[in-house]
């Protein structure tokens, strides 16, 4: 259940009914798969009428499996593969969040068959860029 509030999408109330009609006709429902229990029930979740796609939250998933942040652990990778395969069977597009700004990891997820991806977090991208630039500055300062 969700609340019904007035927000920018409905012109702060000016176009509420038009927005509701547009939403009924155009909304895309994407379920978050972020817990091991969701992995266990993935076939029934994806069979719910109206579900258009899924996206995996790997950090929460790993935490629910007792492996917080260990995204490369074989059990976590097996759970991700299980969801991806269930999505294929259900003919539902799947996504995953690639947390670290790593183009190679992004490419691996694309090659695995994910259809859409969340890429990075603002703080992780900023941290990565700052560290890279700092290394470059330090290397430059060491050169005569």
Residue 33 lies inside a defined structural domain of this protein: yes
Closest-CA residue to 23 (of 2, 54, 48): 2
Q: Is residue 35 part of a domain?
A: yes
Summarised one tens digit per residue, pLDDT across range 6-37 is: 888 888 889 999 998 998 899 999 999 999 99
Which domain, by its residues, includes 55?
A: 28-142
Please check whether residue 120 is in contact with residue 100, taking contact to mean a CB–CB distance below 8 angstroms.
yes
Residue 15 within a domain: no
Number of domains in the chain: 1
How far apart, in whole angstroms, are the C-alpha atoms of residue 140 and residue 144?
A: 8
- Whether 80 is covered by a domain: the verdict is yes
Instruction: Look up residue 9 and give its DSSP letter.
Output: G
Q: For residue range 81-95, list pLDDT tens digits in order.
A: 999 999 999 999 999
pLDDT tens track for 102-137: 899 999 999 999 999 999 888 988 998 899 999 999
Is 56 within a domain?
Answer: yes
CATH of the domain at 108: 3.20.20.60
């Amino acid at each position: 259940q969700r609340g019904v509030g007035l927000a920018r999408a409905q012109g702060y109330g000016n176009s509420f009914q038009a927005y509701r009609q547009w939403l009924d006709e155009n909304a895309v429902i994407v379920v978050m798969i972020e817990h091991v229990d969701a992995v266990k029930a993935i076939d029934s979740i994806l069979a719910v009428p109206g579900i258009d796609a899924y996206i995996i939250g790997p950090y929460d998933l790993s935490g629910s499996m007792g492996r917080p942040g260990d995204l490369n652990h074989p059990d976590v990778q097996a759970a991700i593969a299980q969801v991806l395969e269930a999505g294929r069977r259900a003919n539902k597009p799947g996504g995953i969040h690639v947390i670290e700004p790593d183009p190679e990891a992004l490419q691996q997820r694309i090659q695995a068959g994910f259809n859409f991806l969340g890429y990075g977090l603002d703080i992780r991208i900023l941290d990565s860029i700052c560290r890279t630039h700092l290394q470059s500055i330090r290397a430059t300062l060491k050169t005569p």
